[in-house]
Structure 1
């Protein structure tokens, strides 16, 4: 006997349309200071600012700063060619969790707004 359909399952094609959060292209929120505890290079600071100016950052709060900082550190290691496979995997997971990938945006129910 086939398994009965579950319309509330997140993977069901029978569920009602999910409410989407429309992200503003220019949110105008201030960029937080990079966390203390290490020396940040200029390219890391530039990436930090770039991340906090994304439409996705409009949905982040100050508690997200540590997660974003970890993402920046992994990104820097990847570019330097010194990242471990664990750092590569963690970078991939963090970008998805922060909604920085199409898959992550879809999972969070986010869409880009119009200009």
Structure 2
């Protein structure tokens, strides 16, 4: 179970994100048909170091970001989709700016 904000969490101050957190990739939410490319991107995001800090409550947010991502790649995204994608990616720590704001560093980079 992921709970980075628990008072008993091991994450205090600058958080070093392990490259292999060993947490399971959650199932994609129902409600639409996901493409193979979307399933692979989902797996990559949830297997990445930042996902160590996400819990199950992040599933809808990551799914929405994935739909924006797909629309951007397909050339179907509006400027609003692109803006929301950037905001979500930063909020989830998937950008350098977002990681800095959240106080996260990759394991070995936090000197």
TM-score, length-scaled by structure 1: 0.83
| Separation in 2, partners of 1:74, 1:51 | 14
Corresponding residue to 2:44 among 44, 47, 50: 50
Give the 5 Å matches for 1:1-115.
Answer: 19-114=13-108
> 1:99, 1:108 within 8 Å by CA — same for their partners in 2?
yes
| Separation in 2, partners of 1:29, 1:76 | 25
| Separation in 2, partners of 1:38, 1:106 | 34
Structure 1 residue runs of 4 or more that deviate by more than 3 Å after TM superposition: none
TM-score, length-scaled by structure 2: 0.86
Query: How far apart are 1:71 and its partner, in Å?
Result: 0.8
- Structure 1 stretches lacking a partner, 5+ long: 1-17
> 1:77, 1:83 within 8 Å by CA — same for their partners in 2?
yes
Query: How far apart are 1:104 and its partner, in Å?
Result: 0.2
Q: Secondary structure at the match of 1:65?
A: helix
Bigger radius of gyration among the two: 1
CA RMSD of aligned residues (A): 1.4
